[in-house]
């Protein structure tokens, strides 16, 4: 069993926020798979199952994402090796894609919560959303909607993220996967 987690905040207010790119990517994956909704209160999130693949959107709000991930991990007895977390990353330009295993949380509250709940040795799909000019603007920036050129390319970006996550499911060579799917910015995206 493999688990792909998309991070975000529940509700329409947040749906197009930069912080919700994980949710947007899960939605793209769901649009290509005929997954069954297996959501239950005990999972603290929306959970979908397709064959031996689980797709999770925690509904605990970002700061408590670990509660949902831990519940699903324990119920389905999933190893850390079989978990991929998709999240926004302000340290990467908009459109950048990086795959990594383990590492720090970089100040991301969703990752902090997951790290404290299950440890750090899971896979991550880091999706660049750019960063504000001043550090004091980080919260309003990630809780703001995509705008301008970023908004125009968002559909293409989440499609690429979806393809990367699906490739992770099928890959036996993480180094090759990283090499093939990592991108520095949005220049590769199509209108």
**Would you name the residues annotated as active-site residues?**
19
Q: What is the DSSP annotation of 60-119? A: S-GGGHHHHHHHHHHHHT--GGGEEEEEEETTS-TT-EEEEES---TT-HHHHHHHHHH-
Question: In terms of Cα–Cα distance, which of 180, 167, 91 is closest to 103?
Answer: 91
* CB neighbour list of residue 79: distance below 8 Å, 6 or more residues apart: none
Q: Residue 177, by phi and psi: left (phi above 0), alpha (psi -120 to 50) or beta?
A: alpha
Task: Note whether 45 and 58 are within 8 A (CB).
Answer: yes
User: Phi first, then psi: what are they for 132, rounded to 5°?
Assistant: -75, 170
Question: What's 129-171 look like in SS3?
Answer: CCCCCCHHHHHHHHCCECCHHHHHHHHHHHHHHHHHHHHHHHC
């Amino acid at each position: 069993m493999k688990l792909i987690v998309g991070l975000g905040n529940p509700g329409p207010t947040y749906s197009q926020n930069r912080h919700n790119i994980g949710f947007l990517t899960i939605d793209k994956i769901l649009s290509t798979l005929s997954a069954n909704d297996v959501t239950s209160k005990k999972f603290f999130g929306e959970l979908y199952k397709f064959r031996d693949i689980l797709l999770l959107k925690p509904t605990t709000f970002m700061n408590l994402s670990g509660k949902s991930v831990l519940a699903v991990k324990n119920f389905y007895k999933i190893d850390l090796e079989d978990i991929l977390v998709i999240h926004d990353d302000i340290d990467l330009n908009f459109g950048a894609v990086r795959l990594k295993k383990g590492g720090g949380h970089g100040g991301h509250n969703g990752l902090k919560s997951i790290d404290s709940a299950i440890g750090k040795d899971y896979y991550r799909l880091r999706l660049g959303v750019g960063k504000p000019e001043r550090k004091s603007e980080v919260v309003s920036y990630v809780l703001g909607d995509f705008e301008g050129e970023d908004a125009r390319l968002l559909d293409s970006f989440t499609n690429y993220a979806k393809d990367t996550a699906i490739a992770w499911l099928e890959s036996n060579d993480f180094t090759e996967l990283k090499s093939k799917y990592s991108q520095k910015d949005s220049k590769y995206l199509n209108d």
